[in-house]
Copies of this chain bind each other. A is one copy, B any other.
């Protein structure tokens, strides 16, 4: 293989060229390419499964866990789901070219903003090969060129998927460099990609916390990411009891290994006696472990609750474990969230309008909810159609990142010869 810096620079230059072209093609042309990509995946099932088998064999040799091997595995149903995901992106509105806020100035200038692609997006991800198709489809639909760097364990699968995607670009006569794959397991390639600030506009890491921390530390390019999902459900003093229990169970247990699962429950002291014994019973039945503050422990010891340690409040379990704390007020709940939260998603269960509005306004998270399960924090559930990930950053995009998050607004000015005096 070539020197990774030289190779990545060439990939970057080609991507920049392709991005310029892609920024001006019609939505119809982009949809033709995406449709050809999805149809290509459906036609190539046997090829994809054959290449995937090589990765599975390699993974077994390298001792990957059953869970990891399962995530890596491409079945007919999963390839169909990948294609279906692309068809859904086809159905979304093209965000590029929208003009907003066009207003006349006193001198007759019209000033507004136009939505345009970011340019070149670098995506660094692990394990699941479907990210390859999802990310490429979102990038192309939003007019961006994309550089894909998948995990080494999925190299053969990803390469085969990208081959199909590139055929789709060709069928629609779009530049094939709009979707490029870093076809090497050399780690130096990632370092080189993160320094391509001349050609790459944004880096999106998708994967474990270790990967994301490394990308943040090394990147010269702005990064869109979330690190942790320590999401809180807060049961307010006059919450509806049934709703409080239902939302807690759903937030924690509907799926535990995901970033928007509830990790900490905060219960107003006035609700503790009514709420905690019922919850303790139901959480126990559901197989959920409970890490409790001293006050909570009084109610939950009979259901297997144990004393929480200081670390519990800062831990994203990604498992059937819930930390639970009784608070004296909504202010104490908000202070706890401010200190221990990860600015991902928090929800209040309340019947009081004023407190609902205050929680909405004051809690500084990418998603803040009233009377809804934290599990809804997701681009598809929010109506974005699909998502590239979730951002807990404050700049550019906060919350699920859909097509709009892959674009920017530039100012446009229409004059009739005005000069500045």
Contact = CB atoms under 8 A, between A and B. Distances in A.
As for how many copies of this chain the complex holds, the number is: 2
A381 interface: yes
A27 to B, nearest CB: 13
Contacts of A409: 398
A394 interface: yes
Interface in A339-368: 347, 356, 358, 360-362, 364-368
Contact of A368 (B369, B395, B413, B421): B413
Interface residues of A, number: 67
Contacts of A243: 417
A131 to B, nearest CB: 22
Interface stretch (A5-13, A151-159, A183-191, A372-380): A372-380
Contacts of A97: 361
Contact of A364 (B119, B395, B420): B119
A248 to B, nearest CB: 10
A394 B201 contact: yes
Contact of A410 (B105, B246, B338, B368): B368
B417 A411 contact: no
Contacts of A240: 417
A376 B103 contact: no
B24 A362 contact: yes
Nearest to A254: B420
A256 interface: no
Contact of A411 (B368, B375, B408): B368
B418 A376 contact: yes
A394 B361 CA distance: 28
A383 B370 CA distance: 36
A195 B7 CA distance: 33
A119 to B, nearest CB: 7
Interface in A104-160: 105, 109, 111, 113-114, 116, 118-119
Given A113-B399, A377-B411, A398-B408, 13 more contacts: A20-B362, A105-B381, A109-B372, A109-B381, A111-B381, A111-B382, A114-B361, A201-B395, A202-B394, A254-B421, A369-B414, A376-B418, A395-B408
